[in-house]
Amino acid sequence: MTVVAQIGQILVDVPTMQTNDPYSYAIPAEWEHQLQAGMRVIVPFGRGHRMVDGVVVGVTDVTSFDGTLKPIEAVLDLSPVLNAELQQLADWLADETFAFRITCIQTMLPNLLKTKTEREIAPLDAITPAERATYFPDGTPRPFDPDKLDEATVAGLLKLQRAGKVTVLYHVKNQAAAKTTTGVAPLLPPDKLVEIQHAVAKRAPKQADLLAYLQGMTPSQPQPQAKVVKAAGVSSAVINTGAEKGWLEKSSLEVYRDPFHQPVKPTHPLTLNPDQAKAVAAITAAIDGDDTQNFLVEGVTGSGKTEVYLQSIAVALQQKRTALMLVPEIALTPQMVNRVKARFGEQVAVLHSGLSKGEQYDEWRRIDNGEATVVVGARSAVFAPVKNVGLIIMDEEHESSYKQDETPRYHARDVALWRGRYNHCPVVLGSATPSLETRARAAKGIYTRLVLPKRVNDRPLPTVHIVDMRAEMKSIGDSDFSTPLVAAIQARLDRKEQVVLMLNRRGYSSFVMCRDCGFVLKCPNCDISLTLHMDSHSMKCHYCGHEEAIPKVCPNCHSRKIRYYGTGTQKVETALQAQFPTARILRMDVDSTRRKGAHERILKQFGNHEADILLGTQMIAKGLDFPNVTLVGVLNADTALGLPDFRASERTFQLLTQVSGRAGRATKPGEVFIQTFNPDHYAIQLAQSQDYERFFVTEMAMRHQGSYPPYYFAVQVTASHEDEAVAAKAMYQIVAALKGDLSDQAIVLGPTPKAIARVKRKYYYQVVIKYKNEPDLKAGLEQIRQAAQIPARHGLAVTIDPEPMNFM
């Protein structure tokens, strides 16, 4: 019988039977006072004593113990992987997002700690010779496999860890294997290859094809075998033959390189202009003060927000505190990361999904042990284990990528605000086009508003022209480029200036628009664009379920040119090249940037003026700062307007303002052309004047009228199943149950099938509830989540999304 002095509260990870209540386990006496909250353990669970992962969330002393508790089987960490702040944050997050505590904890940990990894325990300098002799008889690090070590040894190691005498290293197997592929390069000179090609041409035509392809390759530059197979039109067997005959050489080829390991030239603080100085002073006062004060930095594009962030970070560092800076997507904002690194050098840690698990973990550890004091990263970096935080910055705070669209469905902004309160430090939300929610809170005084109304050095904002494509269509036909845009591009090519062209792919071909008058079919109940459903050949509103036939003539102008809308970047690139045969064009879209580091390469090429035109999807709208860009063209401003989403106008305004801001950032003035079928729409009109404040007022009125956020809260519940009837029935039951918890003030939209009703062989049904004050709603949703666990085993999945960003 094990002697027990303490009991551990353990959250167990059992996917089908989750609970937020921890289970009690006995802590073996040898481990007394060693186990701490935040450590991972293995415990026996259920009748079969199956071994499952768990996390310690509490430890209590006991004086008497009746012996019925199962003992903890093994400890996986010698020190907590989750500090006290993050433990509390996990509890809050679980409560806010209707997720389980264990899921939240896993979301916070680096990937490497989520997978089964090899652990090794290594002695540190502080260890005594006697301890070294006991625990490291070979003098070298030893594998740390708690299953195989006896309790006394683990207890001894736990003590050494607490005394700072040992450390645990984590290893992932086969990290290198993932990084290489087979490469192929010719071994013979081209004339020799030609000779052999002629010799084998009749007998072995495929070998001749391969030989022909090899002639065009540079001997010192191997290409991936997969590429050669495709380009030469031969099988890998033919390549093997080529290798046997000595025509080519196979080698191992590195596929990825980390884009952020290049050295960055250091920069020094710039002299601030008065608006910037005022902003930095206000943020500094808040860092100094003990009350949490939060800010909205509302600054037009090119107003120098980044310099405000950097100098504010410097203040936090001077006070021996740390700083956390969130950016929408690291891959899309390499310039921003470089600017932070250039200012703060080695103490910057960058967290992003492009790093390998090992690299991610290394950065995480540098943060955890205090080596890195400035953290830059995308959404999940908000969980970085920085301690004593002095400042949290969220750049482009309006970006929807800050909301996670899987469990836990958190918004990084809410997490940042929580951590600001915990650390008594300010949170700075920055944008040229703040989200309506944030701007409305600033209006209420919840955030202090700091305005940068002008571009740096009084550079003018670009002149924006709106091109009415309804009129243009009559002269240019189906071309994607209007006459004024073509002339403007030509002028830039003549002057050796650069052009950014954006093709908006959001909402691509999902809605029907009249090419003569720009009319978009809307729901009579919800005033939201109807979505085209090819399966049912109808137009549907997926807020309320309204359905009608696909129109053949425009209800507005009776034109027959009403059809769905959309074109691809590749097609546009071809047309653009035909229009401007000598122009050098770079294309940036999901296809051209699939490979790691491709984003940065394209941007670097463009920055070096190796191309005249950068053609891309909305991924080019963010953060680019190229002095030679004097023209921005938006080929289709309307697609996002047609999205069945109450934020469609807001997204359109934000995107147009952001992309316009890429023009004329240095000494040469900028010009923007926005091609649209809706030249009178307020989102387009106000993007032309780049008047965010007026857009805010106009859009708030629309939201008020439609009872949408920020006037109302919203929650979305979704049920999915392979059998459509099961999903629908579940959804109706959920709505019936929820209605009992709601007052007649709440607005229930649905149940209705989702816009894309069938994804990955599953049918989706949803309901959206808009509400102001519903005290019983949370408990009702909680019950639904609990009840959903049992049917989940039979393939029915229920999700609850507070403040959903994505209604598709």
Q: Any known ligand binding at 104?
A: no
The sign one gets for the Cα dihedral 47, 51, 52, 56 is: positive
Residue 301's binding partner out of ligand ADP, Zn ion, none, with CB under 5 to 8 Å set by partner kind: ligand ADP
Measured distance CA(686)–CA(82) in Å, rounded: 47
Measured distance CA(612)–CA(597) in Å, rounded: 21
Should residue 303 be labelled a site residue for ligand ADP when binding is judged by CB under 6 A? yes
Q: State the nearest-atom distance from the C-beta of 285 to Zn ion, in Å.
A: 48
Site string for Zn ion, 457-496 (x = CB under 5 A): ----------------------------------------
Should residue 301 be labelled a site residue for ligand ADP when binding is judged by CB under 6 A? yes
Element of type H or E holding 59: strand 50-61
Question: How many residues interact with Zn ion (rule CB under 5 A)?
Answer: 15
Residue 559's binding partner out of Zn ion, ligand ADP, none, with CB under 5 to 8 Å set by partner kind: Zn ion
Residues between 309 and 338 that touch ligand ADP (CB under 6 A): none
Q: State the nearest-atom distance from the C-beta of 597 to Zn ion, in Å.
A: 44
Should residue 522 be labelled a site residue for Zn ion when binding is judged by CB under 5 A? no
Tokens 């085993």 -> residue: 793
Residue 514's binding partner out of ligand ADP, Zn ion, none, with CB under 5 to 8 Å set by partner kind: Zn ion
Residues between 268 and 287 that touch ligand ADP (CB under 6 A): 270-273, 276
Q: State the nearest-atom distance from the C-beta of 728 to Zn ion, in Å.
A: 18
- Contact assessment for residue 339 and residue 269, using Cβ atoms and an 8 Å cutoff: no
Q: Is the peptide bond before 129 cis (omega within 30 degrees of 0)?
A: no
Measured distance CA(82)–CA(94) in Å, rounded: 15
Cβ closer to ligand ADP: 451 or 747? 451
Count the alpha carbons within 13 Å of 140 in the hemisphere toward its beta carbon.
2
Strands 322-326 and 389-394 come out as: parallel
- Contact assessment for residue 72 and residue 35, using Cβ atoms and an 8 Å cutoff: yes
Cβ closer to Zn ion: 557 or 728? 557
According to CB under 6 A, which one of 95, 120, 547, 625 is a site residue for ligand ADP?
Answer: 625
Mark the segment that binds ligand ADP (CB under 6 A) among 304-312, 342-350, 508-516, 676-684: 304-312
Cβ closer to ligand ADP: 327 or 392? 327
Cβ closer to ligand ADP: 641 or 663? 663
Measured distance CA(422)–CA(416) in Å, rounded: 10
Given phi > 0 = left and psi -120 to 50 = alpha, else beta, which region is 370? left
Element of type H or E holding 362: helix 357-368
Cβ closer to Zn ion: 544 or 702? 544
- Contact assessment for residue 599 and residue 588, using Cβ atoms and an 8 Å cutoff: yes
- Contact assessment for residue 378 and residue 329, using Cβ atoms and an 8 Å cutoff: yes
Q: State the nearest-atom distance from the C-beta of 665 to ligand ADP, in Å.
A: 6
Mark the segment that binds Zn ion (CB under 5 A) among 30-38, 500-508, 535-543, 781-789: 535-543
Cα 435 to chain centroid distance, Å, stands at 17
Choose among 338, 329, 279: nearest CA to 303. Answer: 279
Query: Could you please report the per-residue DSSP string of 688-739?
Result: HHT-HHHHHHHHHHHHHHHT-TTTSEEEEEEEEESSHHHHHHHHHHHHHHHH
Element of type H or E holding 572: helix 569-579
According to CB under 6 A, which one of 34, 207, 294, 306 is a site residue for ligand ADP?
Answer: 306
Q: State the nearest-atom distance from the C-beta of 300 to ligand ADP, in Å.
A: 7
According to CB under 6 A, which one of 123, 186, 302, 753 is a site residue for ligand ADP?
Answer: 302
Q: Any known ligand binding at 523?
A: yes
Q: Any known ligand binding at 425?
A: no
What contacts 269, CB < 8 A, 6 or more positions away? 307, 310, 311, 314, 343
Cβ closer to Zn ion: 491 or 544? 544
Mark the segment that binds ligand ADP (CB under 6 A) among 153-161, 239-247, 305-313, 769-777: 305-313
Residues that bind Zn ion (CB under 5 A): 514, 516-517, 519, 523, 525-526, 541, 543-544, 546, 554, 556-557, 559
The site for ligand ADP (CB under 6 A) is made up of 270-273, 276, 299, 301-307, 456, 625
Binding residues for Zn(2+): 514, 517, 523, 526, 541, 544, 554, 557
Residues marked as binding? 514, 517, 523, 526, 541, 544, 554, 557
